[in-house]
């Protein structure tokens, strides 16, 4: 009875964790995000904060292992379900809300028994994230732990299917390598893709994720609504001007370099300004780098800045990356002040 009452309360506005493969249809992802926004269902920050695990499309074996690991950390009442096509988005979410009231925690059958279990848990809590050694020194000469972590693939506003194998010295990324789960081979070094969404929707899609990470919810909601509607060019231009005049926004993205040439812009501030300035115009869609180039640009950034930079660069994970071999203790090098 208590669980049913809790489920009834949760079902009104369940926290949803979406998991998508790199090859997910962009139209499906946008349809799900639009419907979640219409219902005002919050995005879950972690498995512990999750009520509904929503898998978009069909996950490959490695991402299937991630789904299993995430599901194991979700407390009851909980629902695990999949959205195969855009035509069933509303019915799937309706069923998920109804299932939360079920005291038995009903879930959809999703993964086969032979799926891989070598999962990388969200936030880099997989087996590769447990190894540390004294390897780096800060400016005061104090030794810092060099921690090898796997970031992704299930994080809010994170590129689909991407895992960043990073070495951290404190909060600073000192090495980073890209892997796209179930899409191992990159098309080629320096390959760049363009989003199938079109110029304005691509810019708004990127800005929605950047604003979400910044906690600028009002800007994120406005950008998402414009992305999901068919606004007049004047509305887009006005929104772009508003963003370019927004001093708190400029301050929030200032001082983050985009090194290595993954995109045309040299800084995150320039990237956001160009995304905003291109709204409603006739410019081509922004260039999307490969996962390798985007992740390579994260070296030297702190974790928070790295997530913002990655969202703004919007790497094309359909091109693939990796696989990346696990770190071993012998790989840890010692650098001195």
Task: Please answer whether residues 128 and 140 qualify as being in contact, where contact means their C-beta atoms are separated by less than 8 angstroms.
Answer: no
Choose between 293 and 333: higher pLDDT: 293
Entry pTM: 0.82
Which tokens belong to 242? 């508003």
**Highest mean pLDDT pick, 10-14, 86-90, 143-147:** 86-90
Pick the CATH number of 1-101 from 1.10.3720.10, 3.40.50.12280, 3.30.70.260, 1.20.1420.30: 3.40.50.12280
Q: Give residue for tokens 């070495």.
A: 167
**Highest mean pLDDT pick, 3-7, 115-119, 132-136, 153-157:** 153-157
Choose between 201 and 131: higher pLDDT: 201
Q: Is residue 151 pLDDT above 80, yes or no?
A: yes
pLDDT confidence bin for 10, thresholds 50/70/90: low
Q: Is residue 126 pLDDT above 50, yes or no?
A: no
Task: Please answer whether residues 77 and 6 qualify as being in contact, where contact means their C-beta atoms are separated by less than 8 angstroms.
Answer: yes
Q: Is residue 226 pLDDT above 60, yes or no?
A: yes
Find residue 134's DSSP bridge partners: 145
100 vs 12: CA distance, rounded Å: 10
Q: Minimum mean pLDDT among 38-47, 105-114, 189-198: which range?
A: 105-114
Specify the DSSP class assigned to residue 86: G
pLDDT confidence bin for 118, thresholds 50/70/90: very low
Cβ within 8 Å of residue 198, ≥6 positions away: 285
Task: Please answer whether residues 188 and 322 qualify as being in contact, where contact means their C-beta atoms are separated by less than 8 angstroms.
Answer: no
Sort 280 into a burial class: Cβ within 10 Å, 0-12 / 13-18 / 19+: buried
Q: Minimum mean pLDDT among 203-207, 263-267, 330-334: which range?
A: 330-334
Average pLDDT, the chain: 82
pLDDT attached to residue 301: 96
Which tokens belong to 122? 């969200």
Q: Is residue 122 pLDDT above 60, yes or no?
A: no
- Determine phi and psi for 167, rounding to 5 degrees: -110, 125
Q: Is residue 128 pLDDT above 60, yes or no?
A: no
- Long-range contact pairs involving 302-307 (C-beta distance under 8 Å, separation at least 24): 302/171, 302/172, 302/173, 303/168, 303/171, 303/173, 304/171, 305/256, 305/268, 306/173, 306/176, 307/155, 307/157, 307/158, 307/213
Q: Is residue 137 pLDDT above 70, yes or no?
A: no
Task: Give the mean model confidence (pLDDT) for residues 117-144.
Answer: 40
pLDDT in tens, 16-29: 999 999 999 999 99
pLDDT attached to residue 9: 53
pLDDT attached to residue 193: 57
191 vs 194: CA distance, rounded Å: 10
Task: Kindly list the domain boundaries of the chain, sorted by start residue.
Answer: 1-101, 185-319
Q: Is residue 207 pLDDT above 80, yes or no?
A: yes
pLDDT attached to residue 262: 78
- At 146 the three-state DSSP class reads strand
pLDDT in tens, 230-271: 899 899 999 999 999 999 999 999 999 998 777 889 999 999
135 vs 137: CA distance, rounded Å: 7
Task: Give the mean model confidence (pLDDT) for residues 49-78.
Answer: 94
Task: Give the mean model confidence (pLDDT) for residues 2-10.
Answer: 53
pLDDT attached to residue 284: 84
The CA-CA-CA angle for residues 225, 231, 236, to 5°, reads: 85
Q: Give residue for tokens 């905003």.
A: 276
pLDDT attached to residue 127: 32
Burial 137-158 (b: 16+ CB within 10 A, else e): eeeeeeebebbbbbbbbbbbbb
């Amino acid at each position: 009875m208590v669980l049913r009452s809790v489920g009834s309360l949760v079902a009104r506005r369940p926290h949803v964790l979406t998991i998508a493969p790199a090859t997910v249809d962009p139209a499906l992802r946008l349809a799900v995000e639009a419907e979640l926004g219409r219902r005002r269902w919050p995005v879950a920050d972690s498995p512990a904060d999750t009520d509904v695990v929503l898998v978009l499309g069909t996950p490959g074996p490695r991402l299937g292992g991630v789904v299993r690991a995430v599901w194991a950390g979700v407390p009851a009442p909980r629902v695990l379900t999949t959205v195969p096509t855009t035509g069933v988005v509303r019915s799937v979410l309706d069923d998920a809300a109804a299932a939360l009231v079920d005291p038995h925690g009903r879930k959809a059958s999703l993964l086969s028994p032979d799926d891989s279990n070598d999962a990388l848990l969200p936030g880099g809590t997989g087996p590769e994230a447990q190894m540390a050694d004294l390897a780096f020194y800060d400016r005061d000469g104090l030794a810092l732990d060099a921690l090898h972590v796997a970031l992704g693939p299930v994080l809010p506003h994170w590129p689909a299917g991407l895992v960043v194998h990073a070495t951290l010295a404190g909060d600073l990324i000192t090495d980073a390598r890209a892997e796209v789960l179930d899409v191992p081979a990159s098309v080629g070094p320096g390959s760049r893709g363009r989003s199938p969404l079109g110029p304005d929707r691509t810019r708004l899609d990127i800005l929605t994720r950047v604003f979400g990470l910044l906690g600028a919810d009002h800007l994120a909601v406005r950008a998402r609504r414009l992305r999901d509607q068919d606004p007049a060019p004047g509305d887009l231009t006005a929104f772009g001007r508003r963003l370019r005049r927004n001093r708190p926004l400029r301050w929030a993205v200032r001082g983050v370099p985009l090194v290595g040439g993954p995109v045309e812009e040299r800084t995150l501030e320039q990237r956001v300004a160009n995304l905003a300035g291109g709204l409603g115009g006739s410019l081509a869609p922004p260039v999307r780098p490969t996962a390798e180039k985007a992740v390579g640009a994260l070296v030297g950034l702190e974790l928070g800045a790295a997530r913002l930079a990655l969202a703004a660069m919007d790497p094309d994970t359909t091109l693939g990356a990796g696989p990346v071999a696990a770190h071993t203790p012998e790989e840890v090098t010692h650098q001195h002040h």
